[in-house]
Amino acid sequence: MRLSESSEWRTVILILFCYAALAFVLLNPINLPIAVQVILLVPLITLHSSLQHECIHGHPFKSQLLNNTLVFAPIGIFLPYLQFKSAHIKHHQNSCLAVPYEDPESCYQDPDEWANRPKLIQKIFIINNTLAGRMLIGPAINLTRFAFYEFRNADLSSCINWVFHLISCALILEAVNYWSNLPVWVYFVCCYFGYSLLMVRTFLEHQAHTSLRARSVIIEDTGFFSYLFLNNNLHALHHAYPAVAWYRLPKLFRKNRQKLLALNEGYYFKSYWEIFKLYAFSAKEPVAFPTFQDENKLGLSAHE
C-alpha cells in the first residue's frame, strides 16, 4: 500500500471523508430532513466522481488495482467505473480530441449526421448545448450516448464489467433501502443531479479548434466548483500533465500561467460564475463539429 508520492495522504483523507460523509447523510443519525439530505448528497456524489477521475490517473497509490478498488463502488449508480476508465484513457490518448466518434467523450456531432437528424432531435440537442439544458437533460443524453457507445464496442471484458456494476448497484440500492430513511427513488434523483452538477465541468472543457492545444479550457476558479472538481477546471493543464495530482495543479498553473494561456490560445474563463452568466441560456458553439480544411487530421473523413 505504497503511496504514489508522500503528499498523496491528502487524496486518501479526501476519499475517506467522502465515504464517511455519504454514510453519515444516508444513515442520518441526527434526523436531517430529506431536503437537507438531498442538498448534501448531490455534491458528495459529484465529489466521488471527481475522486474516481483521480484514481484513473494513478492516485493515490502506486497500485492501480488498489486505486480501482477504492472507488469502484457505483455511488452515482449510472456509470460503471471500469468502462468509464477505459473510455477516459482513450480520451486522453486520442490525437482527435473532441472529434465525434474518435473521442468517446465528445459532445459534438458529425456534421453530415447532424444535418440529417429530425428537427425535434436537433432542438433537443440545441437545448442541451446551453448550460441550463446540459444540467437538466445532459445526464440523460450522455448516458444514452454512452450506452450506445458501449453496445457498439461490447466484448467479453466489458460485459463482465457491466455485470459487476449491476450487482454493485443492486447492493448499494438495497443498503439504501434497508439502512437509510431516504426512499430509493430519491437516491436515484440525487444521483441524476450529482451527474448534472458534473455537467458544469464538462460543459465547455473542450472546444472545436484547428489546434489540438487550444481545445482544452482554463477556468481560473478557486471557489466551490474548483474544490468539487478537484482543480480539473484547469483542464488544459490536466491534459498537458495528466499524471499530476489535483492538489499540485494550482501551483503548477500559477508558475506557468502565461505559457499555458498562450499554448491554449486564450481559451480561458475567469470563473464558473462568468460561464453561468454567458451560457446559461445561450450556446457556446454549434452542436455539429466544424468541418475544417484538414479533415483527415481531425478524423472526420472516415465517417463521411
Sorting pLDDT into bands at 50, 70 and 90, what band is 299? very low
Q: Which amino acid is at 192?
A: Y
Alpha carbons 124 and 20: distance in angstroms, whole number: 38
Closest by CA position to 303, among listed 93, 111, 83: 111
3-class DSSP string for 116-166: CCCHHHHHHHHHHCCHHHHHHHHHHHHHHHHHHHHHHCCCHHHHHHHHHHH
Cα–chain-centroid distance for residue 249? 17
DSSP string, 1-46: --BSSGGGHHHHHHHHHHHHHHHHHHH-TT---HHHHHHHHHHHHH
Sorting pLDDT into bands at 50, 70 and 90, what band is 293? very low
**238, containing H or E segment:** helix 235-240
Torsion angle defined by CA atoms of residues 145, 286, 218 and 274, in that order, rounded to the nearest 10 degrees: -110
pLDDT over 60 at 300, yes or no: no
Alpha carbons 122 and 124: distance in angstroms, whole number: 5
Which tens digits make up the pLDDT trace of 266-280?
999 999 999 999 999
128: cell is 442541451
In this predicted structure, what is the pLDDT of residue 148? 84
pLDDT over 50 at 304, yes or no: no
Sorting pLDDT into bands at 50, 70 and 90, what band is 292? low
106: left (phi over 0), alpha (psi -120 to 50) or beta: beta
CA atoms within 13 A on the CB side of 165: 17
- Mean of the per-residue pLDDT values for the chain? 92
Report the share of the chain in percent with pLDDT over 70: 96
Judged by DSSP in three states, 208 sits in coil
Question: What are residue 269's DSSP bridge partners?
Answer: 219
Domain ranges of the chain: 6-303
In this predicted model, which residue has the larger pLDDT, 292 or 234? 234
Which tens digits make up the pLDDT trace of 37-49?
999 999 999 999 9
Which tens digits make up the pLDDT trace of 64-76?
999 999 999 999 9
Once rounded to an integer, what is the mean pLDDT over residues 239-254? 96
